Chains A and B, each alone.
Chain A
Amino acid sequence: MVSVKFASVTKVLGQSRAIDNLTLDIGAGELFFLLGPSGCGKTTALRLVAGFYTPDEGQIVFDGRDQTRVPPHKRNTGMVFQNYALWPHMDVRHNIAYGLKMRRVSEAEREKRVNRALEIVQMQAYAERMPNQLSGGQQQRVALARALVIEPDVVLLDEPLSNLDAKLRVEMRTQIKDIHRQIGRTMIYVTHDQAEALSMADRIVVMRRGRLVQVGTPHELYTRPESAFVAEFIGGSNLLPGTLEEVGELLLVKTQIGIVRAKYAVKGLARGEPVFCSVRPESLRLRPAEAPTRIAPSDGINELSGAVQSVMYLGDNEQYSLRLADGVTLRAVEYNPTARKAGVGDRVGLQFDARDVVVLRQEELGD
């Protein structure tokens, strides 16, 4: 088990800073996710760990050993490539055995370890197949086995599930997580799929334009986003623009639809500053429009009303798009929707708790 450290790493590719002064500590044995929209630099970061790129500035450190100038073949990382990169001229067994051959592992030992790797990914029956005789999911497993068999210090996964169908993708999440638990090695996993990251990661770094935006556990990122970008990218959120009026036990933000009360805020906000109130769709509670307000606003509950613009039924949940007084649109989700609460055009009341609101600095969104 090896820890991986990015120390003020910058990598310029072409005209752009693909990685811009990135400092990051990945703990030994962690299943660590690099998450961000395409072009955010996450794959570049992974390739810097593998050694396919050399940083223009800064260091890559494994367990205190500087790896910055170590060529890829001497780093002992095991990478799973996005398109698997199985060698079409070798069968499954030879693909997997390759790294062991490079390490001059004896033939008997090699045989044993390849078989063990095949077992881990449940591909024993396919050892003599050529890559082009395998399905996408099978190729993916072989690529994984090939990376694991060398017992790498760090396992690198570059969007390993992006070429699989949805059902298989969800299955493979569990399998990879199981394998991680089984072998206990440091794994760095690149994805743009936030659901994948949330469901699997020990910790996640969210990246944008080559920079680190926020690091934390899935729970931290989801419940305490530190920027509108993270709130929007992970899980999606309603972002209400407004001005910070008062800072105290509760924060008061003046928005187009009235005063919004919030419990949490990023550090260092000043009164009068333009902000976003971030409210998760599932924090909004739909109520009949005519239901009387029973709770005083001071209890830390926000009350609004609007009209249903559209409803989308997804089985386990129902998604509402609501139009408020001043043309503001909010998304709300009802889980376990046994009976429809309102139809399109209906007027509804809305409630959400101040502790479900995070006040964030205003920023420009998008990639």
Chain B
Amino acid sequence: MTSWLRRYDLNRANAAVLIFLWLFFIVFMLYPLGYVFSNAFFTSEGFSLVFMKLMFSSPNYTAILANSVNLGLAVTLFTTLLSLPLAFLLVRYNFPGRGLLNGLILIPMVLPPFVGAIGMRQLLARFGSVNLLLLETGVINQPIDWLGGGSFWSVVILEVLHLYPIMYLNLAAALANVDPSLEEAAKNMGASGFKLFRTVTFPLMLPGYFAGAVIVFIWAFTDLGTPLVFEYREVIAVQIFNMVTDLHQNPMGYTFVVAVIALTLFFFYLSKRLMGGGRYEMLGRGHVTSAVRPASASLTVIAYAVVLGISALALNPHLGVFLTSVTSRWFFSVLPSEYTLRFYQDVFSHDLTLLSIKNSLLLSTLSTIVDVVLGVTIAYFLARKRTPGRDVLDALAMLPLALPGLVLAFGYVAAFSATPLDARINPVPLLVIAYAVRRLPYMVRAAYAGFQQTSVALEEAAMNLGASPIKALYQITLPLVFANLIAGAVLCFSFAMLEVSDSLILALKEPYYPITKAIYSLLGRIADGPYIASAMGMLGLLLLAGSLFIAGRFFGRRMGELFRA
């Protein structure tokens, strides 16, 4: 045992923590997944590939798979194109109001796209604001069917507008971490402009870029809420959702899940391969000169124009939701004809809505704490220790990105029924764990990137001077990666607040409804449902904007540096 530990440079405490991590993953991921897998491959007659064959032989099913992959690729491409200029302008140049613009970019994250979809539907409907505006100004004389036919592009647009901040955060962090002297070396060799970017800057940004690109891809690839609200059913997530809620446990659902996991693992593999396994650790970051330069007046104007322009576009769904939430009459007019705050009163007089806000706050806080503790621990082992089964641990920690929440949630409901964790009795523990597991990869990635970019020599210096490994971690490395951890924690918290699929499936009883489930159940109510739902959405939005703002305050006026190593 001791020789085994020595081989991996582990002590007993390390080993105990590792064992705890493994147990956690086995119980809360492998077991429910195994449950899902066994249903995909086992019929009453034993092992069978019949469902797999069915999936790949049916043109209908292969088309659905292709739709989902295309959705993921399109969203990744467009978020990249949108975020790159933003990252360059805001990381490399200093100008008045930079922090403010940085905050503005993050705002679209605070609205679940499926809520945004309600607003967009309102704006883009056959006789919605956009068509009416165009008709009134005489640009068109027939209403355009924006959402009809293949609503593929409306799903893409909504997801891009929701996800580009994530891409931006990753690109900005990656760019901020590129050692300026490496770029200077390239300039010295005669590179400049796009050539410099293509040959040096971007390759150095690649690890950060792929971290963002994979998250965005998987998100779009497995998003359930947006296609559901746009009634774009030909994607894998909606198919799975339908099949899972199909209480008969149609095995095709499980088969799709298996396909999703396989595809996701493939894309992960691809991104790791493309990173080249190169070492991008930058030594001596402590005394690297800053690459931030003051922006000229014209560049400042350009920066404002770009950020404000993109934000204006991205905030359209929010505008739609906002208008829906304050309208009492809105038929055949560009803007509502009568306004009211009645629905906001309803939110606070309604037991369901009020309780759901409390529930969400509690659940998200707890799950964020779980994420921070687990995420930092896992990232530390991955970045700093040669643990046995390191790659498996890495894969397990990242796997939730590939798991549509509904799969995990359904696995939880099924696998833990008739145990003390039964979601039918009290879903709080499973909801907390589901939220935490789902967002754990963000935390692990955020912390891991920080660890990688902080030279291990700094920690060794502390140990050499008498700090125990745990002290060295707390006093040296954690403060240095603190910005990364805060960024990760804020992401975890806001995503937990907006978690859709776990909430829909796990919160089975009204007293435990989180915000999203309350909104979803309100949507189904014909009369005032969508209005109260929109008001709820607005409140959730304000809440999250508030928490981001508080996090920013906590760091003084350097909100932009929150999301950097």
A89 to B6, CA, bound (A): 32
A53 to B463, CA, bound (A): 13
Give the most central of A50, A89, A131, A146: most B CB within 10 Å: A89
Q: A85-B455, A89-B480 are in contact. Are A98 and B462 (CB under 8 A)?
A: yes
Which residues of A lie under 8 Å from residue B460 when comparing CB positions? 50, 52, 72, 79, 81, 85
Asked if A10 lies at the interface with its beta carbon under 8 angstroms from chain B, I say no
**Which residue of B6, B7, B283, B471 is within 8 Å of A83 (Cβ)?**
B283
Asked if A124 lies at the interface with its beta carbon under 8 angstroms from chain B, I say no
In the complex formed, the residue of A with least CB distance to B3 is A56
**Which residue of B7, B457, B475, B479 is within 8 Å of A85 (Cβ)?**
B457
Q: A83-B284, A88-B286 are in contact. Are A103 and B458 (CB under 8 A)?
A: no
Contact A150 B480 (CB under 8 A): no
Q: A54-B6, A83-B455, A89-B479 are in contact. Are A131 and B287 (CB under 8 A)?
A: yes
Asked if B464 lies at the interface with its beta carbon under 8 angstroms from chain A, I say yes
**Which residue of A56, A71, A79 is within 8 Å of B468 (Cβ)?**
A71
Which residues of B lie under 8 Å from residue A85 when comparing CB positions? 455, 457-458, 460-461
**Which residue of A86, A99, A156 is within 8 Å of B286 (Cβ)?**
A86
Give the most central of B6, B7, B283, B460: most A CB within 10 Å: B460
In the complex formed, the residue of B with least CB distance to A102 is B466
Asked if A194 lies at the interface with its beta carbon under 8 angstroms from chain B, I say no
Contact B457 A83 (CB under 8 A): yes
In the complex formed, the residue of B with least CB distance to A12 is B7
Give the most central of A52, A71, A139: most B CB within 10 Å: A52
A79 to B464, CA, bound (A): 7
A75 to B465, CA, bound (A): 9
**A54-98 contacts to B (CB < 8 Å):** 54, 56, 71-79, 81-89, 98
Asked if B106 lies at the interface with its beta carbon under 8 angstroms from chain A, I say no
Minimum Cβ distance to chain B for residue A46 (Å): 11
Minimum Cβ distance to chain B for residue A354 (Å): 50
Which residues of A lie under 8 Å from residue B458 when comparing CB positions? 85, 87
In the complex, per-residue mask of A120-135: 1 if CB is within 8 Å of any chain B CB, else 0 = 0000000000011010
Asked if B11 lies at the interface with its beta carbon under 8 angstroms from chain A, I say yes
A272 to B479, CA, bound (A): 67
Which residues of B lie under 8 Å from residue A89 when comparing CB positions? 479-480
**Which residue of B7, B283, B463, B480 is within 8 Å of A72 (Cβ)?**
B463
Minimum Cβ distance to chain A for residue B384 (Å): 11
**B461-489 contacts to A (CB < 8 Å):** 461-469, 471-472, 475-476, 479-480
Give the most central of B7, B9, B284, B458: most A CB within 10 Å: B284
Minimum Cβ distance to chain B for residue A57 (Å): 11
**B444-465 contacts to A (CB < 8 Å):** 455, 457-458, 460-465
Which residues of B lie under 8 Å from residue A147 when comparing CB positions? 464-465
A53 to B287, CA, bound (A): 27
**Which residue of A82, A99, A131, A134 is within 8 Å of B466 (Cβ)?**
A99
Contact B463 A132 (CB under 8 A): no
In the complex formed, the residue of B with least CB distance to A96 is B465
Which residues of B lie under 8 Å from residue A87 when comparing CB positions? 286, 458, 461-462, 476, 480
Q: What are 11 A-B pairs at a CB distance below 8 A?
A: A54-B6, A56-B7, A75-B464, A78-B465, A83-B283, A83-B284, A84-B284, A87-B480, A98-B475, A147-B464, A156-B464
Q: Which 5 A-B pairs have the closest CB atoms?
A: A99-B465, A102-B466, A88-B286, A85-B457, A72-B463
Known: A83-B457, A89-B480. 18 other contacts (CB 8 A): A50-B460, A54-B9, A73-B468, A73-B469, A73-B471, A75-B464, A78-B464, A78-B465, A81-B457, A85-B460, A86-B286, A86-B461, A88-B480, A89-B479, A99-B465, A103-B466, A131-B286, A147-B465
User: Could you tell me which B residues sit within 8 Å of A by CB distance?
Assistant: 6-7, 9, 11, 283-287, 455, 457-458, 460-469, 471-472, 475-476, 479-480
